[in-house]
Each structure stands twice: as C-alpha cells, then as structure tokens.
Structure 1
Amino acid sequence: MERLPKPLRPHLAAVRVLAVLTVILGGLYPLLVTGVARVLLPHRAGGSIVRADGRDVGSALIGQSFTGRDGAPVRKYFQSRPSAGGYDPLASGASNLGPQDVVDLPPDPRAADQAARKGRASLLTQVCARSKAVGELEGVSGARPYCTPDGVGAVLKVFPAVGAPTRVVSVNQPCPAAPFVAAYQGVRVECGRRGEDYSAGRTVAVRGDAHAVVPPDAVTASGSGLDPHISVAYAELQAPRVAGARGLDVRRVRALVRAHTTGRALGFMGEPVVNVLELNLALDRER
C-alpha cells in the first residue's frame, strides 16, 4: 500500500473494507442466523410451509386467495383478508392510500394520459365495493357509512368551495348513474361527467345512517399485504356460508374456527385471529 500513489490509497482501503464486510455480513452472518434458527425454530426457519396430501400448499405466515379461475370466491372456503400486493412476498406492502383518498378517478378512454384512461378507485370506494361484495357473498347487508348503495364512496363536490352552493356533483357516480342523494342544501345533485375537472370544488363525504355488519378486516388490506389471518368476527360471518356449501352443521364449522383461533400475543397484545389456510385444510379433512 505504501507503494501506491497517495490518492489511490483510500480507494484500496475502501475496497478491502467492502470485501471483508461482504464476507462477514453477506455470508457468515446469514449462515449463522439461519443455523441458529433451524436449531431453535425448525418449523419457522423454513418459512412455515404447510403440507397437505404430500405436497406444499402454502405458508402459515403468508396469506393466499381462495378463488376460482374466474376470480370469484370459492364458497366452500373461508376467504382471506384483502391484499394490496396479491399476497406476493416480492410485492409486500400497502396501497399507501390514506383516509383522505375519497375521490375516484373514473376511466376516460379519451384521455391522453395512460393513468387517466385506466382510472383509479379511491380507498373509500375500494372499501365500499369490498363491503358490498362481501355482503352479497355472505347474505348480509354490505352497507357502510360513507358508502352509496351501489358500492362507491358517498362523496360530493360542492361549488363554489366557499359560500352557498350553486352546483353539487356526486363525483364517484359517473353518468348515467343516479346520485345517492337528490339534493344537497337545496341544490340538485348531478352525476359525475367523465373527464371533467372537479378539483376546485369542496369535498364533502356524506356519512349516512348505515350500520356496518361486515368487519373492517374484510374490506381493508393489511400493511404487508401478506396477513394470513382474519378476525374472529370475519370468520364467524363466513361460517354459515361455508357450512352450507359443504353440507356441514354450522356448529361443527364454528368449532373448527375456535380450534384454529390464536389468542392475543403475550396475552394482551392485539386481538385473537384465525389462520385461514389451516382452517380451510381442517375443513377439507372433514369427510
């Protein structure tokens, strides 16, 4: 190193540090951690793979869908929590949409921008649509506060933004849809028109008087998009449908739900949850 020109010496030192740290942190440390995990937690270290009939069917730690080729839920199976990433571990993450995301971008085939042509449903409309779909599947009311009967966000754009309204638009209900309310503060409510800019209006979300029957975890995705569990309330909601599809006594199905319910972590953290894959496999073993 003494023979190298002085400007090159720091670069050589950096390369040596990189090589040493790569061996230690990129090779030896992962091998050590994996080895310790396989000794102490042999099941979890391998990804908690679940096997049935001699083949791998999933992981106890990663959710999956239970739908048919058409994408519709298979009625004899409990359904998982929604996922923003399609339960793909490589796409783990949330939608990054917040509670203020309530206005849809309807698809507009005439738009120059590709995103505008495709459109995008707001977080509120996604929740409303999921609640409506779950309600229809389970035979209960899918109504929800801030949702219209047709399953979109109950949101108005009021013009002008300040002062007495002179124009009101139900922005999430493109024409020819009938607005969920006929009038707002004495002004007739219009349906939305594709391609029209409503950003100058005041956003008003209308709560309504609906009482939500469908549990929150049935309509919202987890932060990771990989949650393998559902709440006990969501499992109980699905039990009659699964029992009917399988010709089982609903009491037997509910007993299996209880058997696959995990309590609060350390006895006080979180809520009891049900592992969907393990519950569905237990149902398949019921002959």
Structure 2
Amino acid sequence: MIKDLSRQSLAALRMLLVLTVLLGVVYPVAVWAAGQAFGARAAGQPVEVDGTVVGSRLLGQQFEGEAWFHSRPSANDHDSLASAPSNLGPSSADLLALVAERRAAVAATEGVEEGDVPPDAVTASGSGLDPHVSPAYAALQAPRVARANGLELSVVEELVDEHTDGRSLGFLGEPGVNVLALNVAVLEARR
C-alpha cells in the first residue's frame, strides 16, 4: 500500500512538473511569439496622425462636434478599463427611455425623422467599445460632416465607402465603418 502511494505520488509530481513547464512556460512563450508575428495587430493597431498616436482601430472612442463622424453610444463612456454593457434588458424602462432620448438627439443633430435613425446610433455594443458604426449610420452623418468641413457630399460619401469593412470571412457579421479611420480620412481630405 505504501509502495502504491509513493508510486502514485511520484507520478503526480512528474505530471505537475511537466504541466507546469508546458502551461507555465511553453504555452505563454508560444502565444507571445505568435503575437509578435502579427506585429501592429498585436500592438492594438494604433492610428497615427502627424506622428502622434490618436487611437486604436480596435477600440471605439467618443468624437464630438459637427465636423466628425460620431461613434456608437457607450455604456461606459468608451473607457477601455471598464469594458461592459449596461446590463439593462430589452424590457427595461430605463433602457427604453435612454434609447428614445438618444434617438431624438441623433434625429435633431442629423436633421432627419426619428424613424430614420439606425439602431446602432442609439444602442451601445456589448463591450461599449465597438469601433464601427453601420454604413447606414455613417451615411446619415455624411451630409453634416461634409457641411462642417467644407467638403463636397460626394467626397465624404466616397470616404465612407472606402472605409466600409465587409463581413468577416465574407459571411460573418455585418459590414461596418471604422469611425476613427474615417475621421482621420476626413481630416486628410480637408487639408
């Protein structure tokens, strides 16, 4: 019996050491090496303007003012350290009031009827950090952005088309427009 116990203990100790090396050293080094192989993607895909990092293609941020395309609302004010939804359900009176308030504000800003406001203009993403808006929301904002920047509407609409990403793998998800990349393009177009 003691012989069996010592044999099993020795086997368990060997397994502990092997798994510690595999999962505590080999796996983290492999993940780090794979991340390094993808370069800027692993670094958060920073976006630079005039040599200064202004944001990441992977994280949404707030843009204010008539001259910029606006992002989706965020339950956490686009704080990447507090990435989370609001946890309000579809039957929540608070959520319904918030959506109605946002819909009225977007309709007034864009000069359209409330029924013409796309859902992503009034609802936050699950993380609150989605860097994309729908092509419909970008198109809704194009006339305001063109006017505020002194650009032709056709130029701004072309920028929206150029910055619209298709579905992942051609069939997953919906097309989206990266707001930071689009606003950088607007900045460059007005120079």
TM-score range relative to shorter protein: 0.7 to 0.9
Aligned: 1:80 with 2:52 = no
Note the residue ranges of structure 2 that are not aligned, 5 or more in a row.
1-8
**What does residue range 160-239 of structure 1 map to in structure 2 within 5 Å?**
212-239=115-142
Map of 2:49 onto structure 1: 52
Q: 1:248 to 1:55 in 2, by over 3 A?
A: same
| 1:134 counterpart (83, 86, 106) | 106
* Cα distance per residue 1:150-176 (max 9 Å; x no partner): xxxxxxxxxxxxxxxxxxxxxxxxxxx
User: 2:44 corresponds to which letter in structure 1?
Assistant: G
8 Å CA contact 1:263–1:273 kept in 2: the answer is yes
8 Å CA contact 1:214–1:234 kept in 2: the answer is yes
Note the residue ranges of structure 1 that are not aligned, 5 or more in a row.
1-9, 68-73, 103-121, 143-211
Rg: which structure is higher?
1
| 2:147 counterpart (241, 244, 251) | 244
User: Cα RMSD between the aligned structures?
Assistant: 2.2
Map of 1:98 onto structure 2: 89
Aligned-residue sequence identity (percent) comes to 54
* Cα distance per residue 1:182-203 (max 9 Å; x no partner): xxxxxxxxxxxxxxxxxxxxxx
User: How far apart are the structure 2 equivalents of 1:27 and 1:87?
Assistant: 34
Count of aligned residue pairs for this structure pair: 181
User: How far apart are the structure 1 equivalents of 2:82 and 2:70?
Assistant: 20
TM-score (norm 2): 0.86
Of Structure 1 and Structure 2, which has the larger fraction of its residues in strand? 1
